[in-house]
Structure 1
Amino acid sequence: MRVDFIKMHGLGNDFVVLDARARALPAIGSGFARAIADRKTGIGCDQLILLEPSEVADFRMRIFNADGGEVEACGNASRAVALLHGSAATVETGGGTIAVEPQGKGATVDIGEPRFDWDAIPLAYGMDTSLMPVGWDRLDRPGAVNVGNPHVIFFVDDTDTVPLDVLGPEIEQDPLFPERVNVNVATIEDRHHIRLRVWERGAGLTRACGTGACATAVHAMRRGLVDREVTVTLPGGDLTIAWGDDNRIRMTGPATEAYRGSFEWDDFA
């Protein structure tokens, strides 16, 4: 079975997109997702994205990380999918229904409302998620936010000096986070600007994480450290995050189609 794919990225966070809205595809398992994502023997990506019909939105987006695990949300992929779709749409995800709208060479995504309750993150036990009494080596007293997927956020003097490749997997797998967690380390430059690096659950260090930018910005806003609209600078570039009076988060940034191709399904099954 020959299958078409679209290779896309948002600020260097890259995806293989399979469009099954008009033509059904076989079931995707973790082994298939890992094989496609492999950068030496597959197509190579941080996430495999599957588009399907939906009964509650214009279409459904499923997200598989490079380790094969299916996750609830991906902000950068949402912008890429908006660009691919070509018009405003509602999208069903594992983290809830979102709204996307192409904007020039990128898109604006209405991520929805953040959740702060400890059991919505989720955490293994109750605590204040605005200033958590926990720590790992040099990283301590983080905040936690669920923006469709779980994030923990640490504010540091200089994000570039944190050994996130070492601490990221340790924190991601900590028993405190029963569904694992995305790990964000951020530096507040001023009230309009945050620098950010992210260890992404199931994908590792990425050049950008849209939901991480949303979670970090909202946590900084909740703490009163920045204004309600900020620029978040990641290694791959900038995103604009706004948290409106309606309690909804809106992310704006670029997305790019890199190329298109096809493969034999059985080569990766």
Structure 2
Amino acid sequence: MDITFYKYQGTGNDFVVIDNRDLSFPRENTDLVHFLCDRRFGVGADGLMLLNPSDKYDFTMVYFNSDGTESTMCGNGGRCLVAFAHKLGVFEKETTFDAIDGLHYATYNDGITNLQMIDVNNVEVYENHCFLNTGSPHHVQMVNNIGAYDVKTNGEKIRYGAPYFQEGTNVNFVESLNNDKFRVRTYERGVENETLACGTGVTAVAIAMYEQKQTTNTKIPLKVEGGELEVSFEPTENGYKNVFLKGPATFVFNGNIKYHGKANR
């Protein structure tokens, strides 16, 4: 099988992207997805996305974790897929597309994607952390000296521990910086390691910090390992609406790769 792919990254969160408007990609083949995301034997990525057709909207986003499993919404992935759709000429300035968590509106201008995320109606606040769903489930916990923090070891414990267990959660560690800015490091389920950025993760962090009165801003800059992102939202009596994730989405390279089955690995 000869596969044409594109590689994109959003603040270091990288993806294999495939134009699947003809629905030819065998999305049930988890080994193929895992191979393409493998950094030694394949292209290498945190995840894979298909740009599928949509009956009513510009396209449909289908997202897979790097382990080959189809997954929930990925914010940085969504931003990159918007950039890819723009490259293909699917839209000019603004778009609406389907994803597993519903409809998303986005704009693209000069390499910057501003992606509307789902409304958040519930933030569970506990003594030492918050939990909320921003298209994917997220545990948010503040720590000190985040630069030296062992994200993989501690994230793994929380991801598989009570009350999350096998279904798991993404885990975000946060430290407050000056001027209502926050630094975030994220352990992503499916990747089972720290990634350089997580879009739904920083969205969860921004809302959690506002909910916990760590900031009064509704437009929050966030520093991730791969760069800078911005989250804005509108608080309501029942939660948060008009939630937007803004940041760069960059084309890296494209090519063709042959897949012969499990013998590749």
TM-score, normalised with respect to structure 1:
0.87
Q: Distance in 2 between matches of 1:27 and 1:9?
A: 21
1:130-169 deviation digits (Å, cap 9, x = unpaired): 12x5xxxxxxx11011001000000122222321110111
**Which 5+ residue runs of structure 1 have no aligned equivalent?**
118-128, 134-140
Q: Which amino acid aligns with 1:148?
A: G
Return structure 1 stretches of 4+ with deviation > 6 angstroms.
none
Q: Distance in 2 between matches of 1:229 and 1:27?
A: 37
Q: Distance in 2 between matches of 1:175 and 1:53?
A: 39
1:176-216 deviation digits (Å, cap 9, x = unpaired): 12521000000112453010100011111111111111000
Q: Distance in 1 between matches of 2:164 and 2:99?
A: 21
Q: Distance in 1 between matches of 2:10 and 2:54?
A: 24
Q: Tell me the percent identity.
A: 28
1:35 partnered with 2:35: yes
- SS of alignment partner, residue 157 of structure 2: helix
**Which 5+ residue runs of structure 2 have no aligned equivalent?**
87-91
Q: How far apart are 1:28 and its partner, in Å?
A: 3.4
User: Contact 1:187 / 1:196 at 8 angstroms: preserved in 2?
Assistant: yes
1:84 corresponding residue in structure 2: 84
* 1:31/1:2 CA distance change after superposition, 3 Å: closer
1:262 partnered with 2:256: yes
- SS of alignment partner, residue 248 of structure 1: strand
1:72-108 deviation digits (Å, cap 9, x = unpaired): 1111111111111113222211122211211211200
1:6 partnered with 2:1: no
1:240 corresponding residue in structure 2: 230
1:218 partnered with 2:212: no
TM-score, normalised with respect to structure 2:
0.88
2:190 corresponding residue in structure 1: 202
Output aligned runs, 1:68-147, within 5 Å: 68-86=68-86, 87=92, 88-116=94-122, 129-131=124-126, 133=127, 141-147=128-134
Output aligned runs, 1:136-215, within 5 Å: 141-177=128-164, 179-203=167-191, 204-215=193-204
Q: Distance in 2 between matches of 1:221 and 1:16?
A: 33
Equivalenced residue count is 250
Q: Distance in 1 between matches of 2:26 and 2:67?
A: 19
Q: How far apart are 1:30 and its partner, in Å?
A: 2.1
